[in-house]
A = this chain, B = another copy of it.
């Protein structure tokens, strides 16, 4: 299903030989119209990969006809040659699809600082175009995997229209705007400004609140393409909610597949004076290596939650803080609460509630535990 669940889209995923192991590494998504509206959000990392710089530029028109994505190389920190390669990739897609290069977004993922093997990528574009079809969404989702162990897709079908999408991401996962490659498609008949508003609202509370390892990527890209093929123009709020649901589902899939993780941790901050405070505190907790290790050891070490809260600028009084882990209020009023031995941590999902007792705003950040497997996977990635 994936990006071809909505009408008006074709996709393909092939092995172009960019990855040395011969796995699929090139995906193509094409909007066959009648509409070509599009919106996108990109990493806020100031070191942006060439494809991000390119795609930000072409999206200014509010229209896209195709997205070409490769795994096996991020094309980040590759200088002018890297940008030329991105440009050449878009030109190649334009040539085979008989469109303009300015209608083609490019996304890349993989190791930073290595030039892409264009002698393999450009013929790969031709091969991908030749295999484009209306059921190619699954193959496209598979072709963008890097260290992902599973491919990620999601679809929400409403009354006559659909939002679908695919995502990749397993490491270097932290809010940038988004922190991964995502392509969403819809056959709803809506203009780009409506797409843009829905996409920004959705990513703000979904992908932006996934923080697996605190490391912001240079390549994060989330695109939303609308074909209008359903001939339905849904209510904007209903549409925004459907986009949010797909983003939320894909974000959850990213967390569940995070590198080396054995626990998915839901950090829910409540009682905050503002949503910004809640997000800041949630991120601080989610990025605390000591806490992430403790959760890995099934240790409800709430002191590490408090020490993480204490590093923030959020409004709170230390002696009013409360913390629950899996439903047990182990910290009350900044001190010892219920018996920590009551906390059952045997299951994969761990739920931490941090109550700042300073207001009524909330935010939820998702993260993972820190494991020896994460260390192993990331100490051997490029070598």
Contacts and interface: CB of A to CB of B under 8 A. Distances in A.
Interface of A: 45-48, 74, 76-79, 81-82, 111-115, 171-172, 213-218, 287-290, 293-294, 296-299, 301-304, 306-312, 316, 318-319, 321, 331, 333-336, 370-372, 374-383
Nearest to A46: B310
With most chain B CB atoms within 10 A of its CB, the pick from A82, A215, A289 is A289
Contacts of A308: 215
Contact of A171 (B78, B290, B309): B290
A381 B303 contact: no
A294 B331 CA distance: 36
Contacts of A287: 214
Contacts of A215: 288-290, 304, 307-308
Nearest to A289: B213
Contact of A112 (B114, B216, B303, B372): B303
A287 B311 CA distance: 15
Contacts of A216: 307, 310-311
Nearest to A114: B336
Contacts of A299: 379-383
Q: Which 5 A-B pairs have the closest CB atoms?
A: A112-B303, A297-B379, A47-B310, A79-B335, A293-B378
Nearest to A47: B310
Given A289-B378, A297-B383, A298-B383, 5 more contacts: A77-B318, A172-B307, A216-B307, A216-B311, A297-B379
Contact of A306 (B112, B307, B375, B380): B112
Nearest to A112: B303
Contacts of A374: 289, 293, 375
A376 B372 contact: yes
A336 to B, nearest CB: 6
A77 B334 contact: yes
Contacts of A298: 383
B74 A303 contact: yes
Given A215-B290, A290-B171, A381-B294, A79 B333 contact: yes
A112 B304 contact: yes
B379 A78 contact: no
Given A46-B318, A318-B46, A336 B294 contact: no
